């Protein structure tokens, strides 16, 4: 399975208040840690990063310093996420069987989880990491008062990467663009094209960095993984990924 990875890093970080992808996580930025997960996945052959149009040179230099060998290029993104993904899809070589789209703001994804998702995508054509919703859910009214309960049976929270055959995802996004739709993830685009998407349960932390406190959680997870890796090996620094099994719902 040869995978071309598209890492979406063109957002504005409005809710964070600063560039969250540049935030430090135990000595490396959020963006670089997301890229290292893809680098460590044996099925991933190449990595493209979709960035804000004015950040191409900066990100290219940053990645060069990191030594990530599978990095191909930084690609200018669009004003909406789906336009950024399309910009990346146009650069993927036609002979690449699978493409993985990953949010740069999810630096905790493990190489093993990427591989499991890729195996399902290779068999089914479309797959996405996700975790089961375990919280009690309520729908509120406009005054933030509880209006109704939401049954959580069969509810899943979507994650990334989301992995597809290249031809399927290109066809889905071409249709989205032609119809003037705005989609927030690849699963929506592919479902609109009529193709089903398999969910791959992820029991490892894979949170999306959205608010400052998420950085503290991410650091804690990385520290646990490093400690477990050291304990497993008996010495040395160990891997940042380890087995990643902290909690059940990511």
Give per-residue pLDDT as tens, 38-74: 999 999 999 999 999 999 999 999 999 999 999 999 9
Number of structural domains (the chain) is: 1
The answer as to whether 231 is a domain residue is: no
The answer as to whether 245 is a domain residue is: no
The answer as to whether 224 is a domain residue is: no
Residue-level pLDDT at 243? 40
186 phi and psi angles, rounded to 5 deg: -75, -30
pLDDT digits (tens, 9 = 90+) for 64-111: 999 999 999 999 999 999 999 999 999 999 999 999 999 999 999 999
Residue-level pLDDT at 1? 79
Question: What CATH number is given to the structural domain containing 10?
Answer: 3.90.550.10
- Average pLDDT for 227-250: 58
Residue-level pLDDT at 236? 55
243 phi and psi angles, rounded to 5 deg: -90, -15
Domain residues for the domain of 135 are 3-211
pLDDT digits (tens, 9 = 90+) for 186-217: 999 999 999 999 999 999 999 999 999 999 99
| More reliable by pLDDT, 1 or 12 | 1
Residue-level pLDDT at 137? 94
**Distance of alpha carbon 163 from alpha carbon 43, whole angstroms:** 12
Strand residues in the chain grouped as ranges (E): 3-9, 24-25, 28-29, 44-51, 71-76, 98-103, 126-132, 137-140, 146-150, 156-165, 198-201
The answer as to whether 221 is a domain residue is: no
The answer as to whether 232 is a domain residue is: no
State the greatest distance between any 2 C-alpha atoms of the chain, in Å, as a whole number.
57
Categorize the per-residue pLDDT at 11 as very low, low, confident or very high, splitting at 50, 70 and 90: confident
Residue-level pLDDT at 12? 61
Q: Is the CB of residue 72 less than 8 Å from the CB of residue 45?
A: no
The answer as to whether 70 is a domain residue is: yes
The answer as to whether 241 is a domain residue is: no
Instruction: Please say if the pLDDT value at position 223 is more than 50.
Output: yes
- Residues whose CB falls within 8 Å of the CB of residue 222, separated by 6 or more in sequence, listed in order: 25, 26, 108, 240
The answer as to whether 127 is a domain residue is: yes
């Amino acid at each position: 399975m040869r995978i071309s990875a598209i890492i979406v890093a063109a957002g504005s970080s409005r809710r964070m208040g600063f560039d969250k992808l540049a935030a430090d996580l135990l000595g490396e930025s959020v963006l670089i840690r997301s890229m290292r997960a893809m680098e460590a996945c044996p099925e991933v052959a190449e990595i493209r990063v979709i960035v804000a149009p004015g950040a191409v040179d900066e990100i290219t230099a940053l990645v060069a310093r990191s030594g990530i060998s599978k990095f191909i290029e930084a690609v200018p993104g669009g004003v909406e996420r789906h336009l950024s993904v399309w910009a990346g899809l146009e650069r993927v070589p036609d002979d690449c069987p699978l493409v993985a789209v990953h949010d740069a703001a999810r630096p905790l994804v493990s190489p093993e989880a990427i591989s499991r998702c890729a195996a399902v995508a290779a068999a089914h054509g479309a797959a996405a990491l996700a975790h089961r919703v375990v919280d009690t859910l309520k729908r509120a009214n406009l005054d933030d008062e509880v209006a109704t309960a939401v049954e959580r049976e069969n509810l899943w929270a979507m994650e990334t990467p989301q992995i597809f055959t290249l031809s399927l995802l290109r066809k889905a996004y071409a249709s989205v663009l032609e119809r003037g739709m705005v989609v927030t993830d690849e699963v929506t685009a592919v479902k609109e094209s009529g193709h089903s998407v398999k969910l791959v349960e992820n029991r490892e932390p894979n949170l999306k960095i959205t608010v400052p406190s998420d950085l503290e959680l991410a650091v804690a997870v990385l520290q646990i993984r490093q400690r477990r890796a050291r304990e497993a090996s008996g010495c040395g620094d160990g891997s940042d990924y380890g087995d990643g099994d902290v909690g059940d719902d990511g």
